[in-house]
Structure 1
Amino acid sequence: MTFSTQKEIPVTETLEFQSEARQLLQLMIHSIYSNKDVFLRELVSNASDALDKLRLETYRDKDLEADTSDLHIELETDPVARTLTVRDNGIGMTRDEVVSLIGTIAKSGTAELLAKLRETKDSAASADLIGQFGVGFYSSFMVADKVTLVTRRAGADEGVRWESAGEGTYTIEPAEDAPQGTSVVLHLKPEDTEDKLYDYASPAKVREVVKRYSDFITWPIRMAKAAPAEESDESTDGELETVNSMKALWARSASEVTEDELTEFYRHVSHDWSPPLETIRLQAEGTFEYQALLFLPSRAPFDLFMRDARRGVQLYVKRVFIMDDCEALVPEYLRFVKGVVDAQDLSLNVSREILQQDRQIELIRRRLVRKVLSTVKALEPEKYRTFWTEFGKAVKEGLVSDAGNRDSILEICSFPSTHSADEPTRLADYVARMKDGQEHIYYLTGESRQAIENSPHLEAFRAKDYEVLVLTDPIDEMWVDAVEGFEGKQFQSVAKGQLDLDEQESEHTEEFKPLLDWMTTALGDTVKEVRLSSRLTTSPACIVGDEHDLTPTLEKMYRAMGQELPPVKRILELNPTHPLVAGLRTAHTERGADDPRLTETAQLMHDMALLAEGGDLPDPAKFVKVLASRLEQAL
């Protein structure tokens, strides 16, 4: 496969950066970071990616005219000219790719990135954001007042030369003699005589940065061989030496890898400047061999809940990079997991479509999931709290989508409950606190903890000191219907079905039967039944659903997604001990069912119950008019 040379392009063009790119450049140029080394880590990582992509492309396209005989990264310093060059002979770029990848930040969340970079006062956090949003190339302008990039796509006849001082424009022109790959020349800012820590024209400094941040890169990183007096910053002309170990961390035993190496490798695969929360190793031997080195991040990425966010781990086959973001290896609810899987028996030409059908990939996926879930379960309390705060909402999606691992997911879930206002509870702890004879795990869903705690549905549970899970995440509306139970205890909504919490209900059934029958008919367009309640102690009424009814919140969600649903009639429950309900029964007995004021009162009682649970009135204006009239009469 060859790439045709671009035709009819002016010798040199001056183009403007996209507005977001200009703002980002200015932040890079004028911001001061305590650790500027991040720029070199990002450029070396980009070069490594380019080499990975070229090798994969040559496996897939046997006709690609590309030299793969000595793939490597080369670093060159010139203390006199104050330049640092990062060069690779990888896949390279076409002119259009240069414009789209460098002149434009073609990534969702750019506005959020800029806002966060402006707000953060923490230099480490700033570096994290640079990598996290995939804009590592721009970090070059932290140390350089001009950057020159020369690149030629493998198989193309002509290269491209790009240059910018980061002032809002860049020039681009053909480069006929460009070698395959990409060369980035940083024209470094004037030397800071007071701060020798950041002299990136010094070979010793560059070696130090490579050893610290890029030692694990699987491609050779070469520099001019150092002279015996290393501190002199002179080198032996013409001789190159490899300055990184090139040892794949996942292929080394745990005792051979330091925490610092693991942290830097995590940063390389995740673009997250924070250290990982936990490291997970996995190795399978026998008929099907693979190795995995996975990480649980210590904080959620900005795009965790964005629909177009990239997810998955890196896939290698026999140490050959195959693809980033291999979604087939990690289910969506574990999309925050980062790392590498290296399989021995897959084809090097494997595609994303083939992976989805591959039996070996499915076996790896199952074991990775089990290992991640068991690792989370075993986390020490402080780490677990961090994990659940950052990723709990995503993990709960697995209760809906992954029936095979539902029990294991439930074991690592925590939920707010009425037991504590500050600390969520794990289900095992809830079950341990259950009262004698309690058969269900009680819960209530709603938009906020405050709304749930003020709900009339909780009155009897609070009075009898039953613990209730307080579920406020949208995904909670989904999983409670999908999950059968936990440790033999079924989940029961306190706002659904008939609850047997109080014997008073049966005591009053006969005397209230005429009122209940009449109200069921009078409110027939709105409710399916009116009955006495065992869940109320102070409120006159509440609205509940049948055991298998959609909750009002879930009904709203489906309608918002454009799904047409038949109207859901719910049940109005009355508190027989409340003066308003008792008075309505007396009035109904004395005046009969034809009194329009009784019908009006019944409707008011229904609407008040609807408001108490945070529902929407079908006719707010009518409710206000009737209520105002009643208040006026009371005065």
Structure 2
Amino acid sequence: MAKHQFQTEIGQLLKLMTHSLYSNKEIFIRELVSNSSDALDKFNYLSLTDEKFKNDNWSGKIFIKLDEADGTLTIGDNGVGMNEADLMDHLGTIAKSGTKAFMENLTGDAKKDSNLIGQFGVGFYSVFMVAEQVDVISKKAGEEQAYMFSTDGSGEYEVKPVTKEEHGTIVYIKLKDEEKEFLSKWKTQEVVKKYSNHIAYPIMLNYSEDETTGEGDDAVTKSVNKSEQINAATALWTLSKSELKAEDYNEFYKTISHGDAEPLTYLHNKVEGSQEFTTLFYIPKTAPMDMYRADYTPGVKLYVKRVFITDDDKELLPPYLRFIKGVIDSEDLPLNVSRELLQENRILANIKQNSVKKILGAIKKLEGEDAETFTAQYNKVIKEGIYTDQMNKEILLDIVKYKSSIEEGLVSFEDYISRGDSEKKEIYYITGEDENVLRNSPLLEAYKKANIEVLIMDDKEVDSIVSPMIGIYKEWSLKDITTVDAPDSKTEEEKEEISKEFKSLTDKIKEVLGEEVKEVKTSTRLTSSPSCVLKDSSDPMAGMAEMFAQMGQEMPEIPLILEINPEHEMIKKLDGLSDESLFADISWILLDSAKLSEGLEPKDKGAFAQRVASLATKAI
């Protein structure tokens, strides 16, 4: 019997488990029962759709056996089972690329970390909080050979062939001496009712109990084996809302989310008529760890007439709602619907459309602290939705929020227009990577002076693509302040006069800078800064940049316009400067410092540093 080493990350995880990092040890029962339920779901589907597995006598069940004499707790099922390769893949490794992220996110905080166990598909290992030895015996449906996976959690495991009659899995847990409380009937019942009451299959508790017959000297006490069902075994979403309490919904959520946290909110909906379906969706308080990974795990399970179909189809909801957890149960889809048919199925398309509207409606209704929590966790993916979901764009625009140049915290478009200029109907914004850089941008000076609010959009990778395509919100036009004229009190004639007065200076600066700028002109948008740079919105490359960003390619360089502040002391002195070398240095510093103010880098950082040092030396 060959010994195998656990994957490095599993070894680390086992070390944490065996050293009792987690205070909520009872979750191991929840995780193993949940795994059994998934295995039963998978075989149930096979038994109804695959001739090879059809069995009219099969009835899914989970059993828990308590053996005080032996110090073992056993959890088993007659589900789909595992073969040798499955045991090694599922128990010897964490079979997903989020493994490293999982280990990096372990904090040492028992409550936070216990929530991660199930999120990363490693719920089985929670058993090592209480076990000194674990044996998993499993036989895969349709195969003859059964196998046993054994480990004491020390870093190695063994897999060997064994004999087992029925397909399914049995987990034998030899409990540590200090964890024998889990052999109590009452403790096990309490844990199952708390976490697994609405598992759709009966959970049978097998235990021994002393019974006394007769009286006095004739009394005889003997141990009697008993079995009783300890869960409701009714899929929670099939019950009417009037039968359920908030705590029922919350406990069911803990089962499907593999955590201890309650959801931010939930929505339970039953539709009857030409199509019949039930949905139960949850919004987690904390975003899934893999939300921004390409291989994220979908959180919604699809059932047809209470028969589990799939839990890994990313088409059940739009990608931007990938944080939603829950269930869709259709009465109209065929049981043997394939993945390809799911993507094209009109029934599912209608369910998806209805579900999205319900979810977005529930999000829009969030208030106070709940609304703040949602925005903090999911604002960025809502922006994705604005770009990808044109049908629901309006309600998404009602939900999304941004930082503001005049308000603390985050504001909505509705907040903005409530205090904006109702005649001009313009929403101003600036995009970039660094909030501090944006707030101190010279481009904001004229807006601050005119007391005009500007939205600070610092999710550049998203905002730079999404914001330009929003266009209009309730008749208000979105304006990027880097491409539009700034507010000022000067007339066109006055601006023309200033431009003529400094034309020789702007021409000379342009001559020094050459192709580095498309144009140099005087500015009326600046109050305290000597210069600023703007994108030339009329240049065809500006439109191309957005297209390149959408394709994930490097954006072409957009020609910049340098604006100088004619009222700044530096510009006034520069206008009469005869030292050509000094003039050139200052011209370049005007450009490079303006770039830095917008979060851009000087083309030649070394030359910029030398010019600054040279000017500082002369000033000293």
Q: Using structure 2 for the length normalisation, give the TM-score.
A: 0.91
- Output the CA distance in 2 between the equivalents of 1:218 and 1:291: 15
1:32-54 deviation line (CA, Å, top 9, x unaligned): 54332100000000000001111
* Displacement after TM superposition at 1:356 (Å): 1.3
Tell me if 1:54 matches 2:43.
yes
Tell me if 1:620 matches 2:605.
yes
Give runs of aligned pairs for residues 71-110 of structure 1, distance below 5 A. 71-110=60-99
1:403-456 deviation line (CA, Å, top 9, x unaligned): 2211111101111111224x1111111111114644311111122221112211
Equivalent position to 2:557, from 561, 567, 586: 567
**Deviating more after overlay: 85-94 vs 355-364:** 355-364
Give runs of aligned pairs for residues 379-390 of structure 1, distance below 5 A. 379-390=366-377
**Deviating more after overlay: 543-552 vs 51-60:** 543-552
Show structure 2 runs of 5+ residues with no match.
213-220
* Counterpart position of 2:215: none
* Displacement after TM superposition at 1:355 (Å): 1.4
* Counterpart position of 1:182: 169
* Counterpart position of 1:461: 447
Q: Is the CA contact (8 Å cut-off) linking 1:150 and 1:178 kept in structure 2? A: no
- Output the CA distance in 2 between the equivalents of 1:431 and 1:578: 34
* Counterpart position of 2:216: none
- Output the CA distance in 1 between the equivalents of 2:454 and 2:334: 52
* Displacement after TM superposition at 1:98 (Å): 0.4
Letter in structure 2 aligned against 1:431: I
SS at match of 1:149: strand
Tell me if 1:392 matches 2:379.
yes
* Displacement after TM superposition at 1:630 (Å): 3.8
- Output the CA distance in 2 between the equivalents of 1:187 and 1:565: 60
Letter in structure 2 aligned against 1:612: S
Equivalent position to 2:191, from 192, 209, 232: 209
- Output the CA distance in 2 between the equivalents of 1:505 and 1:351: 67
Equivalent position to 1:327, from 314, 330, 333: 314
Equivalent position to 1:298, from 252, 267, 285: 285
Equivalent position to 2:411, from 416, 425, 430: 425
* Displacement after TM superposition at 1:392 (Å): 1.3
* Counterpart position of 1:583: 573
* Counterpart position of 1:218: 200
* Displacement after TM superposition at 1:522 (Å): 4.7
- Output the CA distance in 1 between the equivalents of 2:256 and 2:262: 12
Q: Is the CA contact (8 Å cut-off) linking 1:377 and 1:411 kept in structure 2? A: yes
Letter in structure 2 aligned against 1:461: Y
Tell me if 1:162 matches 2:149.
yes
SS at match of 2:558: coil
Q: Percent identity?
A: 38
SS at match of 2:415: helix
Tell me if 1:114 matches 2:118.
no
Letter in structure 2 aligned against 1:541: S
Tell me if 1:446 matches 2:432.
yes
1:239-269 deviation line (CA, Å, top 9, x unaligned): 6433211222112111211222211211222
1:470-506 deviation line (CA, Å, top 9, x unaligned): 1111311221111112221111122223334331534
**Deviating more after overlay: 457-466 vs 433-442:** 433-442
Q: Is the CA contact (8 Å cut-off) linking 1:226 and 1:234 kept in structure 2? A: no
Tell me if 1:22 matches 2:5.
no
* Displacement after TM superposition at 1:139 (Å): 1.1
* Counterpart position of 2:470: 483
Tell me if 1:355 matches 2:342.
yes
- Output the CA distance in 2 between the equivalents of 1:149 and 1:277: 36
Q: Is the CA contact (8 Å cut-off) linking 1:312 and 1:329 kept in structure 2? A: no
Q: Is the CA contact (8 Å cut-off) linking 1:131 and 1:273 kept in structure 2? A: no
Q: Is the CA contact (8 Å cut-off) linking 1:150 and 1:184 kept in structure 2? A: yes
1:197-249 deviation line (CA, Å, top 9, x unaligned): x612222322222122111011111224887989xx99853x64332112221
- Output the CA distance in 2 between the equivalents of 1:419 and 1:633: 40
Tell me if 1:314 matches 2:304.
no
Q: 1:229 to 1:455 in 2, by over 3 A?
A: farther
- Output the CA distance in 1 between the equivalents of 2:368 and 2:211: 51
* Displacement after TM superposition at 1:468 (Å): 1.1
* Displacement after TM superposition at 1:596 (Å): 6.1
* Displacement after TM superposition at 1:604 (Å): 3.0
Equivalent position to 2:536, from 535, 543, 546: 546
Q: 1:556 to 1:434 in 2, by over 3 A?
A: closer
* Counterpart position of 2:500: 510
Letter in structure 1 aligned against 2:570: L
Q: Is the CA contact (8 Å cut-off) linking 1:66 and 1:155 kept in structure 2? A: no
Letter in structure 2 aligned against 1:56: Y
- Output the CA distance in 1 between the equivalents of 2:6 and 2:505: 74
Equivalent position to 2:480, from 487, 493, 500: 493
Q: Is the CA contact (8 Å cut-off) linking 1:497 and 1:544 kept in structure 2? A: no
Q: 1:522 to 1:235 in 2, by over 3 A?
A: farther
Q: 1:324 to 1:190 in 2, by over 3 A?
A: same
Give runs of aligned pairs for residues 38-49 of structure 1, distance below 5 A. 38-49=27-38
